[in-house]
Amino acid sequence: MKKYKQNGEVAYLCDLGPVIVEINEILKGLRKWARPERHFSGLLCFPSMITKVYKMPYGVSLIISPFNFPILLTLGVLAAAVSGGNTAVLKTSSKSAASTRALQKLIADVYPEEYVTLLDGGHDVAEFCLEERFDKIFYTGSPAVAKHVLEKASRNLTSVALELGGETGNWCIVRKDADLRDAARKIAFLKLCNAGQVCININQIAVAEEAAEAFLGELKREFIRQIGEKPEENEEYPKLISAAVYEKCERLTEQYRDRVVFGGTGNREALRFAPTVLYPIGPDEAIVQNELFCPMLPVVPFPDAEVESILDRIAKREHPLSMYVFTSDRKWAERVMQTQQFGGGCVNEVCVHMMVRGVPFNGAGHSGMGAYHGEWGFREFTHPQTVLFGKTRGNLPLREHPYSGKTGEKKRTLLKWFER
């Protein structure tokens, strides 16, 4: 029973618990977020001095969620939609069928179908939904499908939010001055999480060559400590979602067999493939040009003094959803985080930035658009509607004709004064 309890704890940590945190944050803050904002209209609007901004729901939203965290990425987004006053149609992944069935029952028990309903099925059902007119679409998944979603939404000029994994994957940089044991421990944890099937996971690591051998030794020890010497036989280790993903791991392992320094083994029947470290990998090889979304982990060595060249390569590729750096040079780390473009990230840590209350979770470019979590989710699913309350008396003729002669000059003088 112990292994099932531990699997349940991982599911709670990554998929169930964050939904509860999200809902609690919404319940605590919603009254404040939804309150109309009151603004001073300014002297140019005299005597109409009061303007309000109302937070209006878009209307009927379509939420398309993926397989990897089927509870969090469905109910977490739904919580944001409902907090904004929207109704919702949910389209969950056909790959996580058991979760879809559980969610379908939950939604039917809680909501009347005219408020929230969940549709089961494959790509044909998703395509059917995209042919319909919605007021808001929120899609989580791959950049390739996101382009199709945007194209469909554009026909009705529907507002769209996208949370994507990033076309060229998320980078992690380990400098020679990093705490290598700490970095290895955290990186191993994240790579083991859902067997690498996580949108904010590390796709490839750039490691200072001066510390590469020591880091690889620490990383191997951490994988073994956390999941054992044969993770493919450990029932605590998550399965891959399909045979196709397993076959991709096998294919990449064979392609880079001479550079496999850890892992490279799997259990086809159980759909488990060990975390597989590939070293050394060049910064421009094909395997570090695409999001892997699996347990493969390429490691790119670089001279520490040439770290800027690695940053230049990252900047020239599509924006990642996450970025992680490990270093003792806080000033350098802050400069990197302020100059690179990505969704969110960590310094000397991994993934926990998405657990911080009050901050957005989002992507940029090929890793997404829009944001959610807490108040940011409420904002994403509402339209700020500005309304000025006019006065019927005391209105000045500044905006009215005539604009010429001495009258015009007086008006211009007053307008310039009001604009200060």
Active site residues: 163, 199
How many angstroms separate the CA atoms of 178 and 272, rounded?
A: 31
Q: What is the 3-state secondary structure (H, E, C) of the chain?
A: CHHHHHHHHHHHHHHHHHHHHHHHHHHHHHHHHHCCEEEECCHHHCCCCEEEEEEEECCEEEEECCCCCCCHHHHHHHHHHHHCCCEEEEECCCCCHHHHHHHHHHHHHHCCCCCEEEECCCHHHHHHHHHCCCCEEEEEECHHHHHHHHHHHHCCCCEEEEEECCCCCCEEEECCCCCHHHHHHHHHHHHHHHHHCCCCCCCEEEEECCCHHHHHHHHHHHHHHHHCCCHHHCCCCCCCCCHHHHHHHHHHHHHCHHHEEECCCEECCCCEECCEEECCCCCCCHHHCCCCCCCEEEEEEECHHHHHHHHHHHHHCCCCCEEEEECCCHHHHHHHHHHCCCCEEEECCCCHHHHCCCCCEECCHHHEECEECCHHHHHHCEEEEEEEECCCCCCCHHHCCCCCHHHHHHHHHHHHHHCC
Return the structure tokens found at 241. 């979602």
How many angstroms separate the CA atoms of 94 and 141, rounded?
A: 13
